[in-house]
Amino acid sequence: MSRKKVGSPPKYSEELLLAKLDEFLLKNPIERLNPNSLSEFTGIPRHVWMRRMGKQINNLKEPNLKFFGEKKEDVIFPNIKELVEKNWNNKNQLIKDLLVFETVIKELYQEASDSEKYKSEKEKLALRIKNLEKELRIAKSDVEYYKQEIYKVSIKSKMNSERINNNLENVLDINPKKKDSIEKATSGEFDRYFKGLFEQGID
């Protein structure tokens, strides 16, 4: 009976691969972690990293967000001291657990930046609305004032003595009970309501 041939030990030990992985992570951001980058950095073939360290690479690329729940009652606040002590001899796991803080900090920074931008826009819009409301109040006041003045002149123009004394001619007749008379006087569309005034004479 032939003996089973004992295979030769792997060219790259697990200890060596883990050491090279740690070295890569110390000099490169986690975003660059992949078999191709590891192969270029260490000279160890890409397929070795994929076959031997694929699981570790994937775990490092996907930080564990177990500390932060979607609901307030689900939140578990991390204990930094405990994380460091637990993973003191396991740099890869420590990096993985700490990456969650990097992710959260980036998200919080982006939210704070967006919030500040929206706050600034809100203040600008609030000021704009305030100015427009002020302008609208002034415009309404002016409209009401001139409406009353036109009405007074219209009343005076009904009396011959007032027409003569105030040199009033061709004054619009405004009746507050008739909507069309007020509209004619206040709309500004004189060419629409008084076409005869704008017809050109025939030479």
Q: What is the pLDDT of residue 76?
A: 57
Does residue 14 or residue 104 have the better pLDDT?
14
- Show me where the domains of the chain are located: 14-109
Q: Give the percent of the chain with pLDDT over 70.
A: 62
Within 8 A by CB and 6+ apart from 47, the residues are: 35
pLDDT tens digits, one per residue of 165-199 = 666 555 555 566 666 666 665 655 555 555 544 45
DSSP string, 1-59: -PPPPPPPPPSS-HHHHHHHHHHHHHHS-GGG-SHHHHHHHH---HHHHHHHHHHHHHH
Are 91 and 22 in contact, with CB atoms under 8 Å apart? Answer: yes
Mean pLDDT of 14-43: 88
Structure tokens at 160: 């011959």
Q: How far apart are CA 82 and CA 98, in angstroms?
A: 12
What pLDDT was estimated at residue 176?
60
- Residue 135 has what pLDDT? 92
For 151, the token pair is: 């009405």
